[in-house]
Amino acid sequence: MAIKTIGIVGAGQMGSGIAQVAATSHFHVIMSDISEALVERGKSNISTSLDRMVQKEKITPPQKRDIMDRIEGIVDMGEMKGADFIIEAATENEGLKLSIFKELDGICGKEIILSSNTSSLSITKIASATTRPEKVIGMHFMNPVPAMELVEIIKGLATSDETFRTTKGLAEKLGKTPVEANDFPGFISNRILIPMINEAIYTLFEGVGDADAIDTVMKLGMNHPMGPLALADLIGLDTVLAILNTLYQGLGDPKYRPCPLLKKYVDAGYLGRKTGRGFFSYEKT
Ligand SMILES: NC(=O)c1ccc[n+]([C@@H]2O[C@H](COP(=O)([O-])OP(=O)(O)OC[C@H]3O[C@@H](n4cnc5c(N)ncnc54)[C@H](O)[C@@H]3O)[C@@H](O)[C@H]2O)c1
């Protein structure tokens, strides 16, 4: 079946980024969130991002309009029935994702692939909430989606080869480079990245260096384009903590213990760029 319409659950930074890329690649997009206001915020973020592309003359104003016209915002999940492929990009919380997949399983036709953009959660477990585990797969985009080339693709225990091939083909149609990873907590990307970020937070917590020093060492000394604390702020500190908890519990190794300072920041509502404050402060947009 040809994929024409992509359903995206969650209009946060990842959901809106995936919607932008899908609509730019000429797919029709149905994007949901839990309120009209959040759907509108997602659309407005896409519009701002496309405006920057117009300014850089990468797209024309009519092209921007066409891209926006291909994105339909919804709150009623029942409307996902019109989608040919689902990408779930809601908050990183296992209980939430299990209930979303159970709901989608009841709404979408049996032939529809249900994929998750989860950063760390078990695809096998998410698939178990459905009656079609062979059609459930991980499709892990990177942030910011329009700029980052990689998509990790994760097969759960029951995911079929056909589901894998279709998902890989879709990633390529979206202009991305797919890489297969096995279904273990954090897959490849976050198994490596998130412990490094956690260690950077411990380095701050223990007073080895301040936030500027830590990020400068990693940028100038290790040639990273972005320091680990600024990257944590970009990912969202709530998401970083959720991924660490998945690594800690899923792998049962104390080396993944989340730094207490990270927990304190999340408790305070310092979630990084999305709230204007994390390890660094940001002008709210
Ligand atoms: N932030 C990153 O760098 C990054 C990178 C790759 C993958 N991810 C993953 O992508 C997913 C989303 O992360 P994000 O950074 O966009 O978070 P976010 O907080 O920006 O957005 C999450 C959105 O999901 C919405 N949501 C919650 N419950 C919902 C429901 N039942 N139906 C529809 N929408 C619902 C929230 O209202 C929110 O708008 C998570 O699984 C995360 O682990 C994040």
DSSP codes joined into one string, 146-211: TT--EEEEEE-TT--HHHHHHHHHHHHHTT-EEEEE-SSTTTTHHHHHHHHHHHHHHHHHTTSS-H
pLDDT number for residue 284: 61
At 87-107, the pLDDT tens digits run 999 999 999 999 999 999 999
Active site residues: 119, 140, 152, 190
Please, what is the Cα angle at 190 between 231 and 16, to 5 degrees?
60
Distances (CA, A) of 91 to 126, 146, 188: 14, 19, 20
Atom of ligand 1 nearest to the CA of 236: 1
Helix (H, G, I), strand (E, B) or coil at 115: strand
Can you tell me the mean pLDDT for 55-72? 98
At 245-258, the pLDDT tens digits run 999 999 999 999 99
Band of the pLDDT at 283, cuts 50, 70, 90? confident
Does residue 285 register a pLDDT over 80? no
Pocket lined around ligand 1, Cβ cut-off 6 Å: 9-15, 32-34, 38, 89-92, 96, 100, 117-119, 140-143, 235-236, 239, 274
153, β-bridge pairs: 139, 180
Does residue 222 register a pLDDT over 90? yes
Report yes or no: 71 and 31 within 8 Å, Cβ to Cβ.
yes
Residue nearest atom 24 in ligand 1 by C-alpha distance: 90
Sketch out the chain's domains with CATH numbers.
5-181 (3.40.50.720), 191-275 (1.10.1040.10)
Report yes or no: 33 and 58 within 8 Å, Cβ to Cβ.
no
- 169: tokens are 């083909």
Ligand 1: distance of its center to the CA of 100 in Å?
12
% of residues, the chain, pLDDT over 90: 99
179, β-bridge pairs: 152
pLDDT number for residue 193: 98
- pTM for this one? 0.95
